[in-house]
Amino acid sequence: MKIVVIQGPNLNMLGVREQQVYGPMRLEQIHAQMKDVATQNGVEIEFYQSNLEGEIVDRIQECYGDADGIIINPAAYTHTSIAIRDAISAVNLPTIEVHISNIYRREEFRQKSMTAPACTSSVIGFGPFGYHLAMVGMMQILSEINAMRQAQAPAQQGAEEE
């Protein structure tokens, strides 16, 4: 099981920028905690951060055939990027959108997510702990998918034998 975590613009500045909104935790600390959860659960995890929309689209596309799920914080691109939304839809992988702050309590322009409708679910407003919740949620989603595939395998084998 492999999960790719994709971080959007300015998230590399966590712990420095707007601590009253995003808190003091740095991105490296969030990733370290996620890696601990992944290791404890036998999950492969990979991290990626970019400030460039096209690079984020490329990384999402690279997940096709290489990853089982995506956890993404598109950051400011949440509210503007049809390209990221289309990439998420194209790869058709379970995807959880994460936001550290509650976007619905912020400026009006931040209250609309262009990317959320393409995602399986969203975790919003839990601070850095939201990434932990997304990890637990993604592992559950992937476990359910695997269980469903295993349950379908005997039925498919029976149909092939007939």
Catalytic residues: 22, 99
Closest by CA position to 74, among listed 86, 62, 92: 86
pTM: 0.90
137: its two tokens: 């949620």
Is 22 or 8 the better-scoring residue by pLDDT? 8
pLDDT score recorded for residue 111: 72
Residue 79 counted as an annotated binding residue: yes
CA 96, 100, 105, 107 dihedral sign is: negative
Contact assessment for residue 78 and residue 36, using Cβ atoms and an 8 Å cutoff: no
Q: Which numeric CATH code is attached to 2-161?
A: 3.40.50.9100
CA 110 – CA 52 distance, rounded (Å): 19
Chain mean pLDDT for the chain: 92
75: its two tokens: 């950051």
Residue 101 counted as an annotated binding residue: yes
Percent of the chain's residues with pLDDT above 70: 94
Give pLDDT tens digits for 126-141: 999 999 999 999 999 9
Give the highest mean pLDDT range of 6-20, 58-72, 109-123. Answer: 58-72
Q: Lowest mean pLDDT: which of 41-50, 71-80, 111-120?
A: 111-120
Residues ≥6 apart with Cβ < 8 Å to 154: none
Query: Is residue 91 exposed (0-12), middle (13-18) or buried (19+ Cβ within 10 Å)?
Result: middle
Residues ≥6 apart with Cβ < 8 Å to 80: 114
Residue 81 counted as an annotated binding residue: no
Domain chopping of the chain, boundaries: 2-161
Q: Judge whether residue 156 has pLDDT over 90.
A: no
Give pLDDT tens digits for 86-113: 999 999 999 999 999 888 887 787 778 9
Residue 50 counted as an annotated binding residue: no
Residue 86 counted as an annotated binding residue: yes
Q: Judge whether residue 160 has pLDDT over 70.
A: no
What b/e readout covers 9-22, taking b as 16+ CB neighbours within 10 angstroms?
bebbebbeeeeeeb
Closest by CA position to 38, among listed 74, 2, 6: 2
